[in-house]
Amino acid sequence: MPDLYTALNAPIEEDLLPLTGLLRTRGVPHQIFEENGQQVLAVLAPEHVQPVRELYQAWRDGQVQIEISGGQGRASSPVGPVQWRQAPVTVAFALISIAVFLFFLLGGPAQMMRYLTFLPFDIVDGQLQFAAMGSQYWRLVTPIFLHFGWLHIVFNSLWLWELGRRSELVLGSFNTLGLMLVIAVVSNYCQYYYGGPGLFGGMSGVVYGLLGFTWVAPLLQPRWRIQPRPAIMLFMVGWLLLGVFGAIEAVGLGSIANAAHIGGLVAGCILGAIFGSLSRLQHDRI
């Protein structure tokens, strides 16, 4: 018998069918039972307790309308204040990236950048001289917070929100943090391994990892209805191929970290298969 965590208590006469239908579509395992004359909705993961409470309150307050179609619940306002609160890790990663970008844009010492790059560096006679990472393991992650232009930061922040919030709604914040950190390490290392020492950065490796995750995970766990629309998949894969074949650099849009994109995408697909399979097995046991 798996551990249960009480998310909310509701009057015995209240119809929770719309809410439970929506939770199923979002891949939130839960049970409803009667206790002391009330309905108790319990979840199997502690990180789902607060999001379920907030979703229930938003539903009762009329901020979210849940429609029943074919026995499943669907929220008619999928993006709103509730989801901002349900995706704190995604929001935090975006805000850190924006803060770092604005810091350097508004005159922050360029030398501070050396603490965020994959390898430490010095400028000798106008040339970058890279040193070994040593035990500074934070550098495996921190390049994702470096961005080198408005298009770079805006593009990555928007796609991070679009794909990260989807993942966080089904995984919870703790698992999403782990997911993003693993993808960051893999994508950064792939770029270093392929391109050698150099100045690179950006959240796009993580974005492509989230793309792979949200693409593959629902194939193995159909309850997770987080798969991006085909148009988004076509655009993102097309952009990846344009980068690989040098078209983006040819038109003057800057150097592209293709190895980070590919490494992130592959890592996300693998993690999507793992998380999706584990969730499917967990549901099959309930």
pLDDT tens string 146-186: 998 898 999 999 999 999 998 998 888 999 999 999 999 99
Lowest mean pLDDT among 5-19, 98-112, 174-188: 5-19
DSSP state of 76: S
User: What pLDDT score was predicted for residue 61?
Assistant: 63
* Beta strands 127-130 and 38-43, pairing class: unpaired
- Residue appearing with tokens 């990555």: 156
From residue 267, alpha-carbon distances to 90, 134, 186, 200 in Å are 18, 25, 7, 19
| Phi and psi at residue 55, to the nearest 5° | -65, -40
User: What pLDDT score was predicted for residue 284?
Assistant: 54
**Confidence band, pLDDT 50/70/90 cuts, at residue 254:** low
Beta carbons of 205 and 268 less than 8 angstroms apart: no
**Confidence band, pLDDT 50/70/90 cuts, at residue 255:** confident
pLDDT averaged over every residue in the chain: 85
Lowest mean pLDDT among 22-36, 102-116, 196-210, 247-261: 247-261
What SS3 class is residue 121? strand
User: What pLDDT score was predicted for residue 243?
Assistant: 85
Q: What CATH class does 87-285 carry? A: mainly alpha
For 243-266, b where at least 16 C-beta lie within 10 A, e where not — what string?
A: beeeebeeeeeeebbbbbbbbbbb
- CATH hierarchy code of domain 5-83: 3.30.70.2080
For the segment 244-265, the average pLDDT, to the nearest whole number, is 82
Q: Where are the domains of the chain?
A: 5-83, 87-285
Q: What is the pTM of this model?
A: 0.71
Query: Bigger pLDDT: 43 or 249?
Result: 43
Report d(CA 154, CA 67) in Å as an integer: 33
* Active-site residue, selected from the candidate residues 173, 187, 204, 279: 204
Which pLDDT tens digit goes with each residue over 46-70?
989 999 998 888 777 666 666 555 4
Which pLDDT tens digit goes with each residue over 76-101?
444 344 356 778 999 999 999 999 99
* Active-site residue, selected from the candidate residues 30, 157, 261, 279: 261
Which pLDDT tens digit goes with each residue over 112-141?
888 999 999 888 877 888 899 999 999 999
User: What pLDDT score was predicted for residue 77?
Assistant: 40
User: What pLDDT score was predicted for residue 34?
Assistant: 82
Give ∠ CA 186-189-192 in degrees, rounded to 5.
150
Beta bridge partners of 11: 38
Dmax (CA) for the chain in angstroms is 78
Residue 204 among the catalytic residues: yes
User: What pLDDT score was predicted for residue 286?
Assistant: 45
- Residue appearing with tokens 């003057």: 252
Q: Is the pLDDT of residue 24 over 60?
A: yes
DSSP state of 43: E
Q: Is the pLDDT of residue 196 over 80?
A: yes
Residue 261 among the catalytic residues: yes
pLDDT exceeding 70 applies to what percent of the chain?
A: 88
Which residue in 261, 121, 95, 104 sits closest to 188, CA to CA?
261
Using only C-alpha atoms, the chain has a radius of gyration, in whole angstroms, of 21
Q: Is the pLDDT of residue 267 over 90?
A: yes
User: What pLDDT score was predicted for residue 76?
Assistant: 43
